């Protein structure tokens, strides 16, 4: 088992790639009562066109299959539901699907091993029938309609619609009523066998564990599996340009909601991914963070009353910056953000503010290591992008004002900016 240590947070990562291809990561937390396990597959809503290992032809599946599959795995052949079984054990269990991955998880203080039995059993034993697939369409159909009524989800999704021409990031993770109507048990089994092969998956456990012992416990619960070849994922060509600059939708909201998004050229270099992510986080704090001049100005003028959300979402094949919130004058915020970016490009980056924010972000990363769920989720998500999470603590020292200027000019471009508004 490989041991990677980070002296800054005094944490150790034990990592092993098993013969069947599964990667197991263990982060021991001596004396911590809470235990957490997450089992993920490198398979999300973006993976709708692919070549199955061993085949030569493309497989295209309807939108929403990854999420549909996540729902269905809980249902067992004996009529029980694994989520109910886990809840009865007193553990906090859940699952989620994103654009890039699907994960099954639980957190507990007691009953870790019985919960682990259940989790590892249901993830490895799919049970799909014509009847239970049809029944699920009704349940997920209601979920789709519910999301359609969420203005904060629509304002984000609409921004993706005008930011991207072809990339599946613009498609809702859950699919549409029409797309899920085309899903059948054969499609589910094919996607399961392709993407739930152990060589495409990783487990992370975090808590008071002896690494060798917990690794053996995991091995004992794994079904025999041979390593699949590499899955060829096919994404459409995506131009650098945006589709259009503005989109507006009317919904019942107390105040208009907005999402400003900036299309960013993605990179598949893990080291560059981490550096760029850290630099963008610092730049967003400088631009719209609570200590920024723009935030104070907008607050004093009554244009905003609460915080401004800012984040950077990325993978190997898409990337975008987002700034979002509520305001009666979203267009004014959009104009001010553009002006503030131009001002920063002209006047340069204030050294004092840069150093303060850099320390703040470093402190937040260190604090993440106090929580077993945060740690495990970070390591799993980053692993599928080829990133070791400790890299964030090491790379932040390499961010200087010069690099920040470079990222500011490369990323924060006016012709790559869009605004999505939802108003009454």
Q: Collapsing DSSP states into helix, strand and coil, what is residue 75?
A: strand
Where does 2-233 sit in CATH, by number?
Answer: 3.30.830.10
Contact 292, 352 (CB under 8 A): no
End-to-end CA separation in angstroms for the chain:
57
Contacts of 182 (CB under 8 A, 6+ apart): 62
Say what the pTM is.
Answer: 0.95
For residues 287 and 314, what is the distance between their CA atoms, to the nearest angstrom?
20
Sign of the dihedral defined by the CA atoms of residues 294, 299, 301, 305, in that order: positive
Share of the chain above pLDDT 70, in %: 100
For residues 75 and 106, what is the distance between their CA atoms, to the nearest angstrom?
17
pLDDT per position as a tens digit, 346-399: 999 999 999 999 999 999 999 999 999 999 999 999 999 999 999 999 999 999
Token pair belonging to 416: 């790559």
The dihedral region occupied by 111, where left means phi > 0, alpha psi between -120 and 50, and beta the remainder, is: left
Token pair belonging to 346: 């002209």
Q: What is the mean pLDDT of residues 130-159?
A: 94
Q: What is the mean pLDDT of residues 40-55?
A: 96
For residues 80 and 232, what is the distance between their CA atoms, to the nearest angstrom?
35
Exposed, middle or buried by CB within 10 Å (0-12, 13-18, 19+), for 272? exposed
pLDDT at site 225 = 87
pLDDT at site 194 = 97
Q: Sorting pLDDT into bands at 50, 70 and 90, what band is 299?
A: very high
Q: What is the mean pLDDT of residues 135-149?
A: 93
Can 2-233 and 246-423 be said to share one CATH topology? yes
Q: What is the mean pLDDT of residues 282-297?
A: 96
Sign of the dihedral defined by the CA atoms of residues 165, 166, 169, 172, in that order: positive
pLDDT at site 304 = 94
For residues 380 and 289, what is the distance between their CA atoms, to the nearest angstrom?
28
Task: Assign a CATH topology to domain 246-423.
Answer: Cytochrome Bc1 Complex; Chain A, domain 1 (3.30.830)
pLDDT per position as a tens digit, 216-242: 999 999 999 888 889 999 999 999 999
Q: What is the mean pLDDT of residues 171-191?
A: 96
- For the chain, the structural domain boundaries read 2-233, 246-423
Active site residues: 70
Contacts of 328 (CB under 8 A, 6+ apart): 255, 256, 303
Supply the DSSP string of 169-233, one letter for each residue: GGS-TT--HHHHTT--HHHHHHHHHHHSSGGGEEEEEEES--HHHHHHHHHHTPPP-PPP---EE
**Position 94 pLDDT exceeds 90:** yes
pLDDT at site 71 = 95
**Position 314 pLDDT exceeds 90:** yes
pLDDT per position as a tens digit, 63-91: 999 999 999 999 999 989 999 999 999 99
Q: What is the mean pLDDT of residues 138-159?
A: 94
pLDDT at site 101 = 98
Of 161-165, 303-307, 329-333, give the lowest mean pLDDT range. 303-307
pLDDT at site 88 = 97
Torsion of CA 378, 311, 50, 184, to 10 degrees: 90
Q: Which of 112, 35, 128, 149 is nearest to 73 (CA)?
A: 128
* β-pair type (23-28, 11-17): antiparallel
Share of the chain above pLDDT 90, in %: 97
Radius of gyration of the chain from its Cα atoms, rounded to whole angstroms: 23
Q: Sorting pLDDT into bands at 50, 70 and 90, what band is 35?
A: very high
Instruction: Indicate the average pLDDT of the chain.
Output: 96
Residues in the chain: 424
Q: What b/e string do you get for 27-61 counting C-beta neighbours within 10 Å, with b at 16 or more?
A: bbbeebebbbbbbbbbbbbbbbebbbbeeeeebeb
């Amino acid at each position: 088992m490989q041991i990677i240590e980070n002296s800054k947070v005094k944490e150790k990562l034990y990592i092993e790639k098993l013969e069947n291809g599964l990667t197991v990561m263990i982060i021991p937390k001596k004396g911590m009562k809470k235990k957490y396990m997450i089992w993920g597959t490198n398979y999300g809503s973006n993976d709708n066109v692919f070549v199955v290992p061993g085949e030569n032809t493309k497989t295209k599946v309807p939108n929403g299959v990854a999420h549909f599959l996540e729902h269905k795995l809980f249902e067992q052949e004996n009529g029980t539901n694994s989520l109910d079984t886990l809840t009865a054990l007193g553990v906090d269990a859940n699952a989620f699907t994103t654009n890039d991955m699907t994960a099954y998880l639980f957190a507990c203080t007691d009953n870790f091993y019985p919960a682990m039995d259940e989790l590892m059993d249901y993830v490895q034993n799919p049970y799909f029938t014509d009847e239970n697939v049809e029944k699920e369409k009704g349940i997920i159909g209601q979920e789709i309609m519910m999301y359609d009524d969420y203005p904060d989800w629509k304002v984000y999704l609409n921004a993706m619609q005008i930011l991207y021409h072809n990339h599946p990031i613009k498609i809702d993770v859950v699919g549409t009523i029409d797309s899920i109507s085309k899903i059948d048990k054969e499609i589910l089994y094919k996607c399961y066998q392709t993407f739930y092969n152990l060589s495409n998956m990783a487990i992370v456990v975090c808590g008071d564990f002896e690494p060798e012992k917990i690794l053996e416990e995991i091995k004992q619960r794994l079904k025999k599996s041979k390593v699949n070849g590499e899955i060829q994922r096919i994404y459409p060509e995506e131009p650098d340009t945006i589709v259009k600059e503005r989109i507006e939708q009317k919904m019942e909201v107390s105040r208009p909601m907005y999402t400003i998004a900036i299309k960013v050229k993605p990179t598949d270099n893990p080291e560059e991914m981490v550096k760029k992510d850290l630099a963008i986080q610092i730049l967003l704090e400088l631009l719209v963070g609570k200590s920024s001049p723009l935030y104070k100005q907008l607050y004093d003028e009554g244009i905003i009353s609460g915080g401004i959300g800012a984040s950077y979402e990325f993978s190997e094949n898409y990337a975008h910056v987002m700034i979002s919130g509520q305001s009666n004058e979203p267009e004014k915020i959009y104009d001010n953000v553009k002006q503030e970016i131009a001002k920063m490009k002209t006047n340069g980056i204030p050294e004092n503010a840069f150093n303060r924010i850099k320390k703040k972000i470093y402190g937040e990363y260190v604090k993440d290591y106090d929580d077993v769920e945060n740690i495990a989720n970070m390591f799993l998500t980053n692993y599928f992008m080829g990133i070791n999470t400790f890299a964030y603590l090491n790379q932040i020292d390499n961010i200087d004002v010069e690099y920040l200027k470079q990222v500011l000019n490369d990323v924060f471009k006016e012709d790559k900016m869009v605004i999505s508004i939802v108003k009454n």
